A and B are shown apart, each in its own frame.
Chain A
Amino acid sequence: MAESNPKTLFEKVWSDHLVKDETADTPAILYIDLHLIHEVTTPQAFTLLREKGIAVRRPDLTLGTMDHSTPTTAFRSFKDLAVVSEGAAKQVRTMQENCDEFGLELHGFDSEFRGIVHVIGPELGATQPGKTIVCGDSHTSTHGAFGALAFGIGTTEVGHVLATQCVLQRKPNTLAINVNGQLQSGVTAKDVILATIGQIGVDGGTAHVIEFRGDAIKAMDMEARMTVCNMSIEAGARAGMIAPDDNTVEYLSGRPGSPQGADWDAAVDRWLALPGDAEAAFDRSVDVDGAALQPMVTFGTNPGMVIPVNDPVPDANGDPAFRKALAYMQINSGKPLSEAAVDIVFIGSCTNSRLSDLQQAAEIVRGRKIAEGVRMLVVPGSQQIKRDAEELGLDKVFLKAGAEWRESGCSMCIGMNGDTVPSGKLSVSTSNRNFEGRQGIGARTVLASPMTAAASAIEGHVCDPRPYLEGQ
């Protein structure tokens, strides 16, 4: 029987969470199934709750961690914690106090599951298909990899969700991004999303929820899908989603937060019914030729300024923003980035800090030394990933190569915890933003995949990782 009202994945999740639908005069009231919180974007919201005498409506649907302002250096006791500033220390203390006072689960320094908020949500099985998930952090789009509707909100909205478990939203438009074909060896999820942003622009997804589709997406494991959805916001999109399938179910099986027993079977049935109906229409559609993709690197000051690693940097053609970006980056048009000497390599962030990311980087540096003068920082996304990687001996691979092996956190992606790139230095980073000053005042950031970053650490300049894959 033909579906009478065909729906996309997004529309199924959206309509399943409408407390009240939107009207001409009022936005929709959308129910939130999982509220992730961290120390940077919540203190002002808790202050408001306290002032108004409001309790958290659903502590059971709220999950906290500390990741942005936290040190990544090893510590033995809380007294040893090398928090970068009194402001950061106060933020960390305040998070603990707020979670204690309002009765919220927090993965703080005493938790073996602490980590980057967008890494631990899936890892703990809290992130599930069909859920609505918000967090005061734009990279909440990461969780869309599971077929959840997940988006970043501001601190005022964090207060709304704490108090009412709802947000006010106008229904966004839908954008299908079809990544077809088989990715070549050495081309990863990071390269797919960087190329996509380069194709549609940093505002190409504004007011839209993206659904990533196509053979290349279907072939990806969950960690790769998270990398893709993570950077949806860098195209300006409200969220990014991928239809749940057997990979999704397999990933969630046995996670602490996953349903158990008969509930598991019911949940899997519900999850596997979430993919969009065949006849469902999108407002827009874009095709990306996955088979033609190369390892990608950014050369400018937003993620849309991106080229295949061996291509010359394009000409500014009189575009003032482009010229300003090249001047900031101290990069010339017409030459490949491979002529740029690398000072720092950062493997980490909610984009690329999961076990498979660390494995890919480790396989390139295994048995090699990073180039003289290069500092390489490897920061696992969570304490769990750190333990898993150490079990595989990856810490020793990185340490032997001359890299630093750290505790989990956002670290040098945002540079709030003291892990920064010095002014004028060039960083090849697996993170998500190459904005001016993002990794430190005057820092010059080249975004790349873990493989490209690792190979660049060995060579001492930006380079194609593929020669390192031969014989692997």
Chain B
Amino acid sequence: MDAIQQLSSHTVVLPMVDIDTDQIIPARFLTTTSKTGLGRHLFADWRFNADGSEKPDFVLNSPGSANCQILVAGNNFGCGSSREHAPWALLDYGIRAVVSTAIADIFRSNSLKNGLLPIVVDDETHAWLIENPGAEATIDVAASTLTLPDGRSVNYPIDSFARHCLLEGIDQLGFLQQHDDDIAHFEDTRSWTP
């Protein structure tokens, strides 16, 4: 995955809570054997009518949302299925960070493995971001901070290993492979075998 140290972008806001991965990318687009090109299906049923035309009232279809890299969403973003197609679709569309008050476990894990920043902030900061769509925000991965246009900066929690991997663009498979001897030792010495 690509390393990411800092991100400055205006935000796009989807205030709905509990946005599940079936909304992020509907299941009918999972009949693929590739991970590329999924951005065109991002939020497909919220973005497009049955005839493929854009729904003008959906925020991602508004001109102001063009090139935005930070998605601010309601609580519990990414709940539901484990499909990694959800972060793949967001990244392919151009989103590099999702900001919410809570992010579902599997979606967060999948995001971190692809360089999509899952950022959980306090209620007050979140409410400000929801009320100010399009605001310019800056995320500093090394410092684990999100900075608002007025200079206010908040820390967000992130696993130190995941942060290290994001900053360096490290593939976690390599880390696991380095422990091959430990894995073999575990297999050889466990008290029962599956």
Spell out A's residues near B (CB within 8 Å): 16, 19-20, 24-27, 29, 31, 33-34, 40-41, 43-44, 47-48, 57, 61, 68-69, 84-85, 87-88, 90-91, 94, 128, 131, 136-138, 140, 152-157, 159-160, 163-166, 168, 170, 202-203, 206-207, 233, 236, 238, 266-267, 270, 302, 304, 320-321, 324, 414-416, 423, 433, 435-438, 441
Contact = CB atoms under 8 A, between A and B. Distances in A.
A41 B82 contact: yes
| Interface core residue of A48, A88, A90, A321 (most chain B CB under 10 Å) | A321
**Interface-centre pick from B17, B164, B194 (highest chain A CB count, 10 A):** B194
A206 B105 contact: yes
Given A44-B35, A164-B180, A435-B80, A416 B18 contact: no
A410 B114 CA distance: 28
26 contacts: A19-B183, A19-B186, A27-B159, A29-B176, A34-B194, A40-B31, A44-B35, A68-B30, A88-B31, A90-B31, A131-B194, A137-B82, A138-B106, A154-B84, A156-B110, A163-B173, A164-B177, A203-B75, A203-B79, A302-B79, A320-B15, A321-B17, A415-B28, A433-B81, A437-B23, A438-B22
A331 B106 CA distance: 31
B34 interface: yes
Nearest to B32: A87
B82 A20 contact: no
Given A44-B35, A164-B180, A233-B80, 19 more contacts: A19-B186, A29-B176, A31-B187, A33-B194, A48-B173, A84-B31, A91-B31, A138-B81, A153-B106, A156-B84, A156-B110, A160-B176, A163-B177, A202-B18, A203-B18, A321-B74, A416-B31, A437-B22, A441-B26
A240 to B, nearest CB: 13
Given A29-B179, A153-B82, A164-B180, A170 B194 contact: no
B76 A154 contact: no
Nearest to B192: A270
B109 interface: yes
Given A206-B76, A321-B17, A164 B173 contact: yes
A364 B18 CA distance: 35
Q: Quick one: which of B79, B109, B172 has the most chain A CB within 10 A?
A: B79
B120 to A, nearest CB: 11
A102 B190 CA distance: 26
A27 B35 CA distance: 26
Contact of B179 (A19, A155, A324, A437): A19
- Rank and list the top 5 A-B pairs by shortest CB-CB distance, nearest first: A87-B31, A33-B194, A43-B33, A154-B110, A154-B84
Contacts of A416: 27-28, 30-31
A441 B18 contact: no
A247 to B, nearest CB: 21
A93 to B, nearest CB: 9
Interface in B79-118: 79-84, 102, 104-106, 109-110, 113-114
Nearest to A170: B159
B34 A44 contact: yes
A27 B176 CA distance: 11
Contacts of A57: 183
Contacts of B66: none
A20 B178 CA distance: 12
A471 to B, nearest CB: 40
